[in-house]
Chains A and B, each alone.
Chain A
């Protein structure tokens, strides 16, 4: 049972990483346009914005 002493913190940390990732993606607006994201992934070529062209 002593394995629990480090397994539980490890599980918690992994969960926290997921939570922080979620909150980060929420803050950077990745949930703002789910319909757009679904189709955008199919178009990988020319000029979306200046950033991708450079």
Chain B
């Protein structure tokens, strides 16, 4: 059974290409991946890069779930004779295409992927890659160099340490120290750059950060060790210095990658949200542009099934608009010449022309953007726990090292050399290896676990803010419910088949629901659509009660309905309902067991909202609330408890930005997906509970890790101050504390 014609077509295409193996290879049975309607597709032409006779194109792919998806896409594309190379990047959910021939082939190749059921969107790969990857790669290269040097220097150091117990002569020891210096010093110069850069930037700005003691510590340790090697002393800290950099670089790289993943999730969401607008010029010709390029006063053509790209007024034509994403209403609204329309509404029945009115400050999108900006500036003040710890930790480290140095000279009356050695030992021991790993490792493990379940984290601090939340506010349409009407069973098969056959000609959501309920119905010929009223074919009519002449007096049904009238027979009623997500009630009770206060805030009518609220078990609900009202409701709740907002409509966007943290389903309006911290895929509500559980668990682990790191410092610093920390002790202390922290973080990934 298929939910729509598109899915059936995708199955057909898969079978036709002989790729049935796909079904045995799928690891997940996600309900996502319905073929996107072609009407929303973005032309890929402008993004094709041509060189000689080859053309390249990069696409964002939505709905990739496991390796089988990657295999299916590549295998299906490989059947195309023009294709030279196709490669899916599963980590970044991107597809790189290379083919021989003209740029137009790109449209055909993108069409193949679309018909398999994945939404694709072109993006400017070069611009995106240049900024994101350069720094990450530099860190990874530094990490490789530091790792190589650390391993080799450690090899030599172990020889020295074991030789000290046995009978190694001073000449051999010095030789090994010199070789260590030869390996370590160039590597240190290379690998310290990321830290030195950030330390100098901080000092230049008159601040101090964690990189300042790191840079001072490593530089001093190397210098003192070089001096000691030259004077043929028995200890050198080359291994500590380079191993320290190695561990710190691991933490820095993971942190960078978590940020990079968040940023690529943002780019992913943004690229998929991009739409096109068809502008009608004065001479009647049409051209396709990006919505942001449409000026006020320009006429835009919106075909049936397309999303309206701009705010404006209807200039000609009449149609029904699906306003669910804009206002939260579940039923379409009828518009004709002169009626205002908003970007994000979907034109259902007939093509209309819209005059853009983007300059007005009173347009809905402008107002929502203003609310968004105000709410987001409030959130940007949030400082991550790790940064707060580092901020207070750095001065303490400096103070401890300085006190040690002065203490040795003044109190113990030692020379500058042992005093400096002790100070260097303090800097090395306090260097925040464990601290630097404590947060990023947890973040990487957590976001990896969420990613595997189709959840994109868009903000690196999202987990922390989510973990602090104590209250949850839900939107109704599209969040607790699936956001589209479904037929309530109970009609005769013959009636249903006839109605579904007629409905195939229409894009009205109620018509689509009829087709979904009876996909095998034979199509009826000669169907005419009357916007806002219904369909007719000969004497048969399908539509509102008034349109078919049915008597609604005494009817007890207040939800969406359609009537079917055939000549000589009493009219038949079809009832529809926007069903709850299958696991909505279960998820709500799970969340309430976790101790969250929950509320339902909707723009829909009170009777509908009350019914949904009681069905899922939320007591606190309010209806007919506008965008501003939703944001205000969140602000009100936040006085008592940090609040998570979950919503999908444009009218939810200000509330999403206002909330301490927010989530949106993948089918949400563009602006909402942009405002949300996390985007989840699929037809279920379970990811909401999953995200919150992972957020709480990772918050627990981060705190444990910070505790472990601090406890280690409390234990080791006194030893360093007193001068008991030899290179051997430093190596053992550093590695064991780092391993402890990483091991603790990995507990989150199991399950």
Residues of A within 8 A of B (CB): 1, 4, 8, 11-12, 15-16, 18-19, 22-23, 26, 31-36, 38-40, 42-43, 45-51, 53
Contacts of B558 in A (CB 8 A): none
With A15-B152, A33-B92, A43-B25 in contact, is A53–B144 under 8 Å at CB? no
Contact A15 B87 (CB under 8 A): no
Contact A39 B67 (CB under 8 A): yes
The A-contacting residues of B in range 59-89, CB under 8 angstroms, are 66-68, 70-71, 74-75, 78-79, 83-89
In whole angstroms, how far apart are the Cα atoms of A38 and B175 in the complex? 44
What is the number of residues of chain B that contact chain A, defined by CB distance less than 8 Å? 37
In whole angstroms, how far apart are the Cα atoms of A42 and B25 in the complex? 10
In whole angstroms, how far apart are the Cα atoms of A26 and B90 in the complex? 18
Contact A19 B144 (CB under 8 A): yes
Contacts of A33 in B (CB 8 A): 89-92
With A4-B175, A11-B155, A50-B84 in contact, is A35–B91 under 8 Å at CB? yes
Which residue from chain A places its CB closest to the CB of B77 in the assembled complex? A49
Contacts of A15 in B (CB 8 A): 148, 151-152
Interface string of B16-27 (1 = CB under 8 A from A): 000001000100
- Can you show 10 pairs from A to B with CB atoms below 8 A apart? A15-B151, A26-B140, A32-B92, A36-B89, A39-B67, A40-B71, A48-B75, A49-B78, A50-B83, A50-B85
Which residue from chain A places its CB closest to the CB of B163 in the assembled complex? A1
Contact B78 A48 (CB under 8 A): yes
Residues of B within 8 A of A (CB): 21, 25, 66-68, 70-71, 74-75, 78-79, 83-92, 137, 140-141, 144-145, 148, 151-152, 155-156, 169, 172, 175-176, 179, 183
Contacts of A49 in B (CB 8 A): 74, 78, 83, 85-87
Contacts of B85 in A (CB 8 A): 49-51
Contacts of A46 in B (CB 8 A): 75
Return B239 CB to nearest CB of chain A, in Å. 14
| Cβ-defined partner of A47 (8 Å) among B75, B92, B148, B152 | B75
In whole angstroms, how far apart are the Cα atoms of A23 and B88 in the complex? 23
Contact A12 B183 (CB under 8 A): yes
Contacts of B21 in A (CB 8 A): 45
With A26-B140, A47-B78 in contact, is A34–B91 under 8 Å at CB? yes
Contacts of A32 in B (CB 8 A): 89, 91-92
New A-B pairs, 9, CB < 8 Å, besides A33-B89, A43-B71: A4-B172, A8-B156, A26-B141, A36-B88, A39-B68, A43-B67, A46-B75, A49-B87, A50-B83
Which residue from chain B places its CB closest to the CB of A47 in the assembled complex? B78
Which residue from chain A places its CB closest to the CB of B84 in the assembled complex? A50
Contacts of A47 in B (CB 8 A): 74-75, 78-79
Contacts of A12 in B (CB 8 A): 152, 183
